[in-house]
Structure 1
Amino acid sequence: MSEITRVLKTFIAYLKRPDLYPELGRKIIKNTVNRGNAFKGKEKTNSWAATKSISQQEAIIKLFGADMTPFRREFQDILKTAQQKEIECPVKMGGPGALELIYYACEFTNAKNVVETGVAYGWSSLATLLSLEKRNGVLYSSDMPYLAQDGDRFVGYVVPKNLKSNWKLFRFADKESLPKIFTECSSFDVLHYDSDKSYNGRMWAYEELYKKLRKGGVFISDDIGDNSAYQDFCEKNNIETTVVEYEGKYIGVFIK
C-alpha cells in the first residue's frame, strides 16, 4: 500500500466514525502546524538517556528486588503460543517489548488496577494480565482503532481468552479513552505509556496519568528517546527516574 493510499484510506475511515472526529482534528494539526513538535528535544534526551541507561535485568533488581529469569520459564508455553499467533497474524503491529519489566512492576506493587496506553498485538497487556489474574485485578487499556490496516479484530491478538475477563479495552484516542477509564477507576498501581509519540501528546498524558498513580506505584513509558517529553516531565516534577536500554531504545521507569 502506497503512503498516499494509506493516508486516504485512513481519512475516509475517520469520516465514517464521528466519535473519532476530535482525534482526526488533532492529527491534522499535529501533522501540519505542529509537525516539527514530534521530535522536540530528541538529541538532548538521547544523550541524557545514554548516560543513565541500565539493562532491563539491572532495573528489575534495582527497583523491585526481583530476579527476572523465572518469567520466561514459568510462562514458556503461553509466550510460545503468543509468538506463534503474532507470526500468523496478517496485520503487522509492534512486537513484544520489555515484558519482564512490566510483569515485575505488577508483582512488586501487588497490582489490582493497571492502566496502559497502546495495545497493538497485546504483548504488554499479556505480561500485565499474567500478574493481575493472581489477584483478580483489572487492566484498563486505551488503544486507537487501526483504521488504515483493517486490523481492529487483531488488537490484543496474543492475549489468551482466559485472561480477557480481567481486561477492559477502550477503543478511542487517549484524550477520549482516559477520562472514560478514570470514571471507572481513580487510582492505579502501575501505568504503562506506549501510545501518542508526539511531545504534546506525551506531556498531556503523563500529567493526567501521574495524578492517578498511587504513591508507591510504578510509572513506565516506552520510547522516551523520541523526544524530550519524558525527561522534561521528570525534571519538572523532580522525579529521579531509571532509564532502561532495551533493543536500541530507551524506557523510562520510576516508583512514585
Structure 2
Amino acid sequence: MSEITRVLKTFIGYLKRPDLYPELGRKIIKNTVNRGNAFKGKEKTGSWAAERAITQKEAVLKLFGSEIDSFRVDYQDVLQEAIRRENACPVKMGGAGALELIYYACEFTGAKQVVETGVAYGWSSLASLLSISKRDGTLYSSDMPYLAQDSDQYVGYVVPEPLKPNWKLFRFADKESLPKIFAENQFFDVIHYDSDKSYNGRIWAYDELYRHLRKGGVFISDDIGDNSAYQDFCEKNNLETTVVEYEGKYIGVFIK
C-alpha cells in the first residue's frame, strides 16, 4: 500500500466514524503544528536510559522478587498456540514484548484490575490475562481502530477464548477510551502504556493513568527512548524508575 493510499484510506475511515472525529482533529494538529514534538528529548533520554538499563530478568527479580524462567514452562502450550496464530494471521502488527515483566507485575500486586493502552495481536493482553484470570479480575484495554487496513477483526488475535470473559476492549483513541474505562473502575493494580508514542500524547496519558494507579501498583511504559516524556514525567513526580532494555528498546517501570 502506497503512502498516499494509506493516508486516503485512513481519512475515509475517520469520516465514516463520527465518534473518532476528535481524534482526527488531534492527528491533524500532531502532524502539522506539533510535528516536531514527536521525538522531543530523544537524544537526552537515550543516554539516560542506556546508563540505567538492566535486563528483564534482573528487573523482575529486583522489583517483584520473582524468577522469570518458569513462565515459559508453565504456559508453554498457550504461548505456542499464540505464536501459531500470529504466524497464521494475514495482517502484520506489533509482536510480543516483555511478557514476563507484565505477568509478574500482575502476580506481585495480586492484580484484579489492570488497564493497558495498545493491543495489536494482544500479546501484552495475554500476559496480563494469564495472571488476573486466576483471581477473576478484569483487563481494560484501549486500542484505536486500524483505519488504514482491514485488521480490526485481528486485534487481540492471540488471546484464547477462555480468557476473553475477563477482558474489556475499548476501540477508541485513549482520550475517549480512558474516561470510559475510569467510569467503570477508578483504581488499578497495574498499568501498561503502549499506544500514542508522541511526546504530548504520552505526557497527557501518563498524568491521567498515574492518578488512577493505586499505591503499591505497578506502572509500565514501552518504548520510552522515543522521546523524553517518560524521563520528564518521572523527574517531575520524583519517581524512582527502573529501565529495562528489551530487544534494543527501553521500557520504564516503577512501583507507586
Deviation at 1:71, TM superposition (A): 0.2
Work out the CA distance in 2 between the residues paired with 1:91 and 1:82: 15
Work out the CA distance in 2 between the residues paired with 1:149 and 1:156: 15
Work out the CA distance in 2 between the residues paired with 1:36 and 1:247: 26
Work out the CA distance in 2 between the residues paired with 1:84 and 1:23: 34
What amino acid is the match of 1:106?
A: C
2:34 aligns to what? 34
Structure 1 vs Structure 2: percent identity of aligned residues? 81
Q: 1:184-231 deviations in whole A, cap 9, x for unaligned?
A: 000000000000000000000000000000000000000000000000
2:8 aligns to what? 8
* SS of the residue 1:67 aligns to: coil
Q: How does 1:101-116 map to 2 (within 5 A)?
A: 101-116=101-116
What amino acid is the match of 2:141?
A: S
* SS of the residue 2:158 aligns to: coil
What amino acid is the match of 2:199?
A: Y
Work out the CA distance in 2 between the residues paired with 1:23 and 1:88: 31
Q: 1:112-170 deviations in whole A, cap 9, x for unaligned?
A: 00000000000000000000110000000000001111100000000000000000000
Work out the CA distance in 2 between the residues paired with 1:30 and 1:41: 17
1:49 aligns to what? 49
1:124 aligns to what? 124
Work out the CA distance in 1 between the residues paired with 2:199 and 2:122: 24
Q: How does 1:147-166 map to 2 (within 5 A)?
A: 147-166=147-166
Structure 2 residue ranges without an equivalent (≥5): none
Work out the CA distance in 2 between the residues paired with 1:18 and 1:213: 31
Work out the CA distance in 2 between the residues paired with 1:42 and 1:32: 19
Work out the CA distance in 2 between the residues paired with 1:171 and 1:39: 26
Structure 1 residue ranges without an equivalent (≥5): none
1:179 aligns to what? 179
What amino acid is the match of 2:114?
A: V
Please, what TM-score do these two structures have when normalized by structure 2?
A: 1.00
Work out the CA distance in 2 between the residues paired with 1:97 and 1:62: 19
Question: How many residues align structurally?
Answer: 256
* SS of the residue 2:25 aligns to: helix
